[in-house]
Each structure stands twice: as structure tokens, then as C-alpha cells.
Structure 1
Amino acid sequence: MKIFIKIFTIAFLCFFILFSGLVWSFNYYMKDNHDGSGIVVRAEEEDMDNLEPEDIDILMQLVDESSRINFILLGLEGFRSDTMMFISFDPDDKQMDIVSIPRDTYYPRVGYDGPGKKKFNAVYGDHGAAGVKTAVSDLLLNVPVDHYVTVTYSGAEAIINSIGGVPVYISHLMDYEDPYDDPPLKIYFEPGNHLLNGKDGVKFLRYRKATPGSGGLSYADGDLGRIRAQQEFMKNAIKKTMSLRLPSVVTTTFRFVRTDIDLQDAIIYATMAVGMELENVNMVMLPGVARYQGGTSYFFHDLQETRDLLLQIYGYEEEETEEDVEEEIISIED
């Protein structure tokens, strides 16, 4: 019996050490390999005077009390983030809120003075995924970003294929050609219902404008129109994924992304999300307006509306005052 216990103990320790080593290696090599340099420092502070201090305090209190897990999803095009989505998941209510951040969002940084460097999609190239986490938290009034997930075009293609494609309805002719891309890019979709495989899905996500004279239509509001199309694609992909075994999908697609989420945590998060209904997935865009500054087009986010959006995500319910009740009574009587 003593010999059996001794052999079992040795075998268990060997297995534990081997398994731990494999998990450590997997988690280590899953990290984003573009570190960037320096710390993200915003060059111009937002005008905080129009935000009441108690509003910020309320938001931070809600954040502290919440069990929400926040991610930033980055779709990469070289050293720029072509797609950025802030994803907040509430495991208690099985609620997911997704806020798309326009790539042209105005975000000036100390030491980066070029017009293109003042766009949010330039942060990744200079500071890496960890730097984007910091910048997104700064943009969203210090709401924490727990994890990043980055995916390249080839990774997105593989993930779409792994779930059997994504159904979409295309309302207008898409026709765009870029012979100078590597490899040359050709996007062509007739209007109607499509089940897009990985290759075509990536093309759909990249489409923004038509080649002049091709007969195709561009999104009327440029990148903002493309974001709405991406959100619809994402929602359909989530719906498709929910019909599958979610933890299995996560472990399958995990190898196509780079992230600071450990494999063990990813499986836990996926298990928490099992049973989440599609109506509990809410997709919005960062509030703001697009306009030119110094000859360059930027998207300027609205601080007040961003605060309201975050309060809504974190479940803030404003208490009615006696004045509010009196106004409602007067309105009903009128």
C-alpha cells in the first residue's frame, strides 16, 4: 500500500507539473506580441466642468459594486486597430453591452503630434494592446478594462469558418477594388441574403466605400455606417454561436486570437455566458459627432452622453424627486 501511495504521489506531481507547464506556456504565448513603447498620456484633458462630481462618484460606486467583466476587442490591420469594441459582460444577469469606438475618435497624446496620430486607431501601433486598455479606460471615464482580445484578418477568417459562416442581409451593391493592397483586394456582393464564409466575412467587415463608377454604394456616413454593419454582423455571429456549445467554441477559436485572458478564465467566462439570450446583447456606438479639424476628419465623443451611457450599462436608476412626481401629475392632468 505504501508503494502504491508513493507511486501515485509521484505520478500526480509529474502530471501536475506537466499540466501547469503546458497551461503556462499556452497563456504566455497567447499574449499580444506587440508591446509598443511608453505610457499613454492624453495631451488635452476633456472639459470636465460640465460633469457634476457626484455623477462621476455614482459611476465609480456602481463599477466597484458590479461583477461586470470588461474587454476591448481589437480587429487589427497591421499596426492599426481597424475595429474597436468595448464589451462589458454581466455574469449575474447574463447581459452583454457592446460599445463600438470609431477608429477616427479624437485622442491626442503627448509626443504624437501628427494628424493621424490623434486618431484612436493609432494607439495600438505606439503602445500595444495593453496601452489601448489604458486609453479606452481613459476615454470611458476611468471605467476599467480587464482584458484585451486582438484578432487579425486571417484570425477573423478562421473564427468565422469555425462557426460555419455568418448570415447577413446586404441592402445595396458592394463593389470595391484596391489593386495596391497585398494581396490585391476585391469586394463584390449583390444585394440580398448571404451566408458569408470566413474570407467573404472579412471582406464585408472591411467594406466602407465603393470604387467610383462601379455602380456600388458607399456608406452615407463613412466609417460610422461601416460600424453599424459590423455590429449587425457581430450580432448574427453571436446568435449563431449561441446555438453551439459555447465553451467548445471558445477553446476552438482561442488559438486564432491574442489576449491576456488565461485559458482557464476564458472557459470560466464562456461557461458563465451559457444560457444568455440574444435580447440581452445590446450594441451601441460611442456617443459623439464626426467633424473636420485642421483639414482632418475626426470623431469627437460626447462626454455627457458617454457618462449617461455608462450609467445605463451599470444599471443606474435615478430616483424620482417630489418635483418630478408633481410634473408627472400636471402632465397627466393636462
Structure 2
Amino acid sequence: MKTFLRVFGISFICFVLLFSSIIWAFNTFMKDNHPNAHVPVIRDVDDSNFEDIDEPELKKLVRKNNRINMVVLGLDETRSDTIIFVSFDPKSKSADMISVPRDTYYPRAGFNGAAKKKINSAYGDHGATGVKAVISDLFFGIPVDYYVTLDYKGVASIVDSIGGVPVYIPQLMKYDDPWDKPPLHIHFEKGNHVLKGNDAVKFLRYRQPNAGSGAMDRMGDVGRIKAQQEFVQAAIKKALTLGNLPSLATNAVRFVRTDVELQEVTRLASSVVGIDTSNIKMHTLPGGASYQGGASYFFHDATETKDLLIKIYSGETETE
């Protein structure tokens, strides 16, 4: 018996050490390794275009709520081509997603170029942790607990892992960019499609056709966001029908960088089990596009953004 206990004890200790090492490795190497991750974000508070609102009602709702907030970033090299804020309420099993246009105006002290005042440039200068700070500031200080980043290859792999995503394309989509690396060729005929891999990425990237092609024009980033939201909803519905979210989450983490620790991954996935797609609400950051200094920006509406966040934290939102 003593020998058994000794062997069992040694084996158990080795298992604990091994498992701890796996957790440590995951929590270390799965994080965004951006070289500027510790460069602080300081907003240009003297910029008159950026409106601050002190909102005690929202702060009160945040304090008494246990929502889990994260920002999902679709990366195109050093820029965040897609930015989605996700707020999940584990108690009601409901989620709200706010798509933030990549041209959203966000002036930062010390970054004075026209392109640097767009929110999608923040990732290149501050990494994913910096984007968390930017989104929190844009949303009046509400906490952003986690980030999740993935590139085009990751999107393609995750879509393939659920067997593709069904979409209806109402009009010819055609765009060619021979100077992209690699060259980009998008061509989808009108009708029903099940998009997999790189085709899904092309659908999500599409904004406008080549001149004279007569193909669909999504009228800029806001139109592209609407298509992305419809695609995400279809992908979520498809994933839920597979009935194995923890397994899908484990597969998905291979393609992402995140500060969600390993212990949290399967717990979060398990808490989503049973969610109804009708409880997943899609929104776009309120505001509108206009020019300033020769550059096109999306200027958010601070009052409407505040009202939307209050509705989210009160559980009173509806799909747009």
C-alpha cells in the first residue's frame, strides 16, 4: 500500500505539473505578442470632434451587472479590418454585438496623421490590449474583459470547421485587385451559397465592385458591416445546430490570439450552451460618415451610443 501511495502521489504530482505547464504555455503563447502592447493609449482630449458624456446611469448598471465583454478583431496585417464588441449575459443567456466601423474617428495624442485618427490603426500602435482600452473609452469606461484576434486564415479555418456558412447573395459580386498580395479575385453569382474557407473571407471583405462591372456596391464600410452581421448570425446558428460548442471552441483557439485563459475557454463555451439565436442582437455603432481635412471618417453619435449601452445593460435591446 505504501508503494502504491508513493507511486500514485508521484504520478499525481507529475500530472499536476504537466497540466500546469500546459495552462502556463497556453496563457503565455496564445496572447497577442504585439511589440507595442505596452504603449499607452492617450486620447487627444483637446479635439472638439470627440464628445464625452458623463453617464452615472450607465455606470450604475455596469456595477451591478455580471456581463462578460470582449472585443473581437479581424486583422489585416497591422490594422483591425473588423472590430466587434461582444457583451454576453450568462444569466439570461443573451448577447449583444456592436460592430464598430474601421474608419471610426478616434484621435490619439501624438498620432496626428489622417489615417492614424481612424480606430483601425490603433492595433498597429498599441496591440490588442490597446484596442481594449480604446473601445472601453469609446463606450464611456465600461470594462472590456478580453480580446480575441484572428486573421483571414483563421476565419477560413473556423468556417471550415463548421462545414461552411449558408448565405443568400442578392446580386452579382465581382471585384479584382491584381496588386493585392496575393491578388484578390471575388466573383459570386446571385443566389444561395454555402461559403467555405477563402470564399467566406472574400464575401466578408467585399465592399464595392470594379468600375463598370454592374456588380453589387455595399456603399462603404457600413454596408459591409451589415453583410458581416448577417454572416455572423448564420455562422452562429450553424454552430449551435452542431451541438458541441465546447469542442468547437477548443478547435477555434488554434487560430486565434486571446487573453481568455485556458481555464475560461471551455467554461465560457459551456455557458453559451442553450442560447437561442433570437437572444443574439446585432448593432452598429450609431453615427455617420463625413469628410474632415480631406479624409473620410465615421463619427460616432455619443448620445445614441450611450443610450444603446444603457439598453444593453438593461436587457432591453432589439435587433437593428
Task: Give the structure-1-normalised TM-score.
Answer: 0.91
- Counting only pairs closer than 5 Å after superposition, residues 310-325 of structure 1 correspond to structure 2 as 310-315=309-314
Change (3 A) 1:316 1:175: closer
The residue aligned with 2:9 is 9
Aligned partners of 1:313 and 1:35: how far apart in 2?
A: 34
The residue aligned with 1:140 is 139
How big is the shift at 1:47?
Answer: 3.2
In structure 1, stretches of 5+ residues that fail to align are: 318-334
Alignment deviations for residues 207-232 of structure 1 (CA, whole Å, 9 cap, x no partner)? 00101122212113x11000000000
How big is the shift at 1:316?
Answer: 6.8
- Counting only pairs closer than 5 Å after superposition, residues 13-52 of structure 1 correspond to structure 2 as 13-36=13-36, 38-44=39-45, 46-48=50-52, 51=53
- Counting only pairs closer than 5 Å after superposition, residues 123-162 of structure 1 correspond to structure 2 as 123-162=122-161
Aligned partners of 2:23 and 2:114: how far apart in 1?
A: 43
Aligned partners of 2:61 and 2:21: how far apart in 1?
A: 38
How big is the shift at 1:248?
Answer: 0.6
Aligned partners of 1:18 and 1:116: how far apart in 2?
A: 46
Aligned partners of 1:196 and 1:207: how far apart in 2?
A: 14
Aligned partners of 2:202 and 2:43: how far apart in 1?
A: 33
Q: 2:233 aligns with which of 232, 235, 252?
A: 235
Question: Aligned partner of 2:270: which letter?
Answer: T
How big is the shift at 1:116?
Answer: 0.4
Alignment deviations for residues 171-216 of structure 1 (CA, whole Å, 9 cap, x no partner)? 1111000000111000011111110001100000000010112221
Aligned partners of 1:278 and 1:316: how far apart in 2?
A: 15
The percent of aligned pairs where both chains have the same amino acid is 54
User: Is 1:303 the equivalent of 2:302?
Assistant: yes
Structure ID, larger Rg? 1
Worse-superposed segment, 35-44 or 175-184:
35-44
The residue aligned with 1:225 is 223
The residue aligned with 1:328 is none
How big is the shift at 1:160?
Answer: 0.5
**Secondary structure of the corresponding residue to residue 264 of structure 2:** helix
**Secondary structure of the corresponding residue to residue 243 of structure 1:** helix
Question: Aligned partner of 2:231: which letter?
Answer: F
The residue aligned with 2:65 is 66
How big is the shift at 1:262?
Answer: 1.1
- Counting only pairs closer than 5 Å after superposition, residues 91-170 of structure 1 correspond to structure 2 as 91-170=90-169
Over 6 Å off, 4+ runs: none
Question: Aligned partner of 1:87: which letter?
Answer: V
The residue aligned with 2:285 is 286
**Secondary structure of the corresponding residue to residue 133 of structure 1:** helix
**Secondary structure of the corresponding residue to residue 314 of structure 2:** coil
Worse-superposed segment, 89-98 or 56-65:
56-65
Aligned partners of 1:289 and 1:216: how far apart in 2?
A: 25
Question: Aligned partner of 1:47: which letter?
Answer: E
The residue aligned with 1:205 is 204
1:35–1:130 CA contact under 8 A, matched in 2? no
Aligned partners of 1:288 and 1:30: how far apart in 2?
A: 34
Q: How many residues align?
A: 311
RMSD over aligned CA atoms reads: 1.2
Aligned partners of 2:70 and 2:133: how far apart in 1?
A: 12
How big is the shift at 1:35?
Answer: 3.5
In structure 2, stretches of 5+ residues that fail to align are: none
The residue aligned with 1:178 is 177
Aligned partners of 1:186 and 1:284: how far apart in 2?
A: 29
1:102–1:223 CA contact under 8 A, matched in 2? yes
The residue aligned with 1:214 is 213
Aligned partners of 1:314 and 1:35: how far apart in 2?
A: 34
**Secondary structure of the corresponding residue to residue 110 of structure 1:** coil
Question: Aligned partner of 2:19: which letter?
Answer: F
**Secondary structure of the corresponding residue to residue 314 of structure 1:** helix
The residue aligned with 1:320 is none
1:62–1:316 CA contact under 8 A, matched in 2? no
Worse-superposed segment, 308-317 or 141-150:
308-317
Alignment deviations for residues 133-152 of structure 1 (CA, whole Å, 9 cap, x no partner)? 00000000101100000000
